[in-house]
Amino acid sequence: MLDDSGSQDHRGTPEAPGRVVTLIERTFWEAISDDHATAADKVWGVAYRIEASKVQEVQAYLDIREINGYSIQYTPFHPADSSQPTLSCLAYVGLPSNPQFVGVQNPQKLAEHIYRCRGPSGENKEYLYMLELALAELSSESGDEHVKDLAYRVRRIEASQGDGTGGSKGGEKTDGVVAHKELERLNSTDEQEEME
């Protein structure tokens, strides 16, 4: 399941941590209350096959980037194409004991916080809009109501503040989702910090 964690080093600062999503175990998810009671039974995402010669390099990089408050777990990954076999994938799963783990928040207050935060990797709202777009593009079933609701709320705040572009520079709004033209696929551990 997805929940919110603070981002002090990518989409926020130690004084004003941005918000990013993190995978958490279903048992923890079921023990908390959320304003979005329609949480899906599955989490959508992308699995990457890493070339054998790059596995150690990629894992070392991810361990540094993601290890703060996460446990490394292998989890089943079910491709959207049900004719494909289930894969075992390494995932970084959030721990509620992580000091940056903030859990459930009031959606409007969370949207206001996301609107205000910015870090070395850019605006927190840009991360939210790109997450919304990425989820929408995975499958016709893959959108996340919590993410859509937050993006809608942040866009309303933008409009009320007079900067209602619906996204950030380089993006165009289509059906409430911001399409970013400047993103490109990168190899190995080259990265764009857009999706933390």
Condensed to tens digits (0 to 9), the pLDDT of residues 39-76 reads 667 788 889 999 999 999 998 988 877 766 688 899 99
| Model pTM score | 0.73
Query: Which carries the bigger pLDDT value, residue 188 or residue 101?
Result: 101
Q: From the candidates 15, 30, 66, 112, which is the catalytic residue?
A: 66
**Active-site annotation holds for 66:** yes
Query: Which carries the bigger pLDDT value, residue 70 or residue 127?
Result: 127
- Beta-carbon count within 10 A of 101 CB: 18
**Each residue's pLDDT tens digit, 167-186:** 444 344 444 444 443 444 44
Q: What residues contact 115, with CB distance under 8 A and at least 6 apart?
A: 124, 125, 154, 157, 158, 161
Percent share of the chain, pLDDT over 70: 71
